């Protein structure tokens, strides 16, 4: 009999273990772009796996765009598309009402960024957002949801929640893009961003996130829960951001 307090270990399938092993080899740089990944023979020795299991794991990382197979050469690592994001560079709205900082930063690195507005609606936020905005159970806020693209590929799903009393009567309530974003409207209304608090975690994606990000396989997302505070430490915006976990990392400097 198992003690009720004994922790159970989640057992990954051998296929998932092999895919994770190969993925880490590529993303960590142990196998550089153009380099050969461990052979089927090597993987059999390491994992004791059947050839079809190994092949299925390779197909998984190929779907993720991390590798490709070539007859006679084996499995080759691609130049992986993982990007390093620096949130501190993007937190403030542009002072001239221009491009979002993340788009400007992407262009500095030779990439093209754009956004697509999905929703603008007044709704009851999730519990964590209500707590951050100090709303009761039926309290509403404005939701502006958008998906961000880099080089034509979806990279981040963003839910922006704004206190309804700050949003009413402004361009934020309209289903259209706002030059400089909601942050610019809030600042011009006398609510500049003073400080932000980020909570970052890895989670399995919701169906909505998986669809918006077009995740090719069973992958986690990198979730950032950000609360922005203004004068008198008033919360003026909550952002819930989800990025494909195998494509992005966050960099903070202290």
Residue 93 has pLDDT above 70, yes or no: no
Q: What's the rounded Cα separation, in Å, for the pair 243 and 48?
A: 33
Render pLDDT for 106-146 as a digit per residue (tens, 0 to 9): 777 777 888 899 999 999 999 999 999 999 999 999 999 99
So what's the pLDDT on residue 100? Answer: 67
Residue 241 has pLDDT above 60, yes or no: yes
Instruction: Answer yes or no: are the C-beta atoms of 193 and 91 closer than 8 Å.
Output: yes
10 or 220, higher pLDDT: 220
Please state, as a whole number, how many other Cβ atoms lie within 10 Å of the Cβ of residue 120: 17
Torsion, CA 177, CA 180, CA 181, CA 186, rounded to 10: -130
CATH topology classification for 83-250: Chorismate lyase (3.40.1410)
pLDDT band at 252 (very low <50, low <70, confident <90, very high): confident
Residue 44 has pLDDT above 80, yes or no: yes
Considering only CA atoms, which of 239, 212, 207 is closest in space to residue 224? Answer: 239
Render pLDDT for 52-66 as a digit per residue (tens, 0 to 9): 999 999 999 999 889
220 or 1, higher pLDDT: 220
Q: What's the rounded Cα separation, in Å, for the pair 120 and 129?
A: 16
The domain made up of 14-77 is a member of CATH 2.30.30.100: no
In whole angstroms, how far apart are CA 42 and each of 20, 48, 51, 71, 74?
A: 15, 9, 11, 17, 12
Domain parsing of the chain, residue ranges: 14-77, 83-250
So what's the pLDDT on residue 1? Answer: 47
- Per-residue pLDDT, averaged over 195-210, amounts to 93
- Per-residue pLDDT, averaged over 80-109, amounts to 70
So what's the pLDDT on residue 83? Answer: 79
Residue 69 has pLDDT above 80, yes or no: yes
Residue 46 has pLDDT above 90, yes or no: yes
Q: What's the rounded Cα separation, in Å, for the pair 194 and 232?
A: 9
Q: What's the rounded Cα separation, in Å, for the pair 230 and 238?
A: 12
Beta bridge partner(s), residue 85: 250
């Amino acid at each position: 009999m198992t003690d009720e307090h004994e922790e159970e270990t989640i057992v990954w399938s051998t296929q998932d273990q092999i895919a994770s092993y190969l993925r880490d080899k590529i993303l960590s740089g142990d196998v550089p772009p153009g380099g050969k990944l461990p052979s089927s023979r090597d993987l059999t020795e390491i994992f004791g796996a059947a050839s079809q299991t190994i092949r299925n794991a390779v197909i998984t990382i190929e779907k993720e765009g991390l590798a490709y197979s070539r007859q006679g050469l084996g499995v080759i690592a691609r130049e992986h598309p993982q990007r390093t994001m620096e949130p501190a560079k993007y937190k403030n709205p542009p002072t001239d009402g221009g491009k979002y900082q993340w788009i400007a930063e992407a262009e500095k690195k030779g990439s093209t960024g754009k956004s697509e507005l999905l929703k603008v609606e007044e709704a009851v936020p999730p519990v964590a957002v209500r707590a951050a905005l100090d709303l009761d159970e039926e309290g509403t806020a404005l939701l502006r949801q958008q998906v961000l693209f880099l080089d034509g590929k979806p990279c981040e799903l963003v839910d922006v929640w704004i206190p309804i009393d700050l949003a009413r009567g402004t361009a934020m309530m309209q289903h259209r893009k706002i030059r400089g974003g909601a942050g610019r409207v809030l600042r011009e209304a006398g609510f500049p961003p003073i400080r932000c608090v980020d909570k970052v975690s890895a989670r399995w994606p919701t169906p909505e996130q998986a669809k918006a990000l077009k995740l090719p396989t069973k992958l986690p997302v990198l979730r950032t829960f950000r609360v922005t505070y203004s004068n008198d430490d008033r919360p003026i915006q909550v952002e819930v951001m989800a990025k494909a976990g195998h494509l992005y990392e966050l960099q903070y400097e202290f």
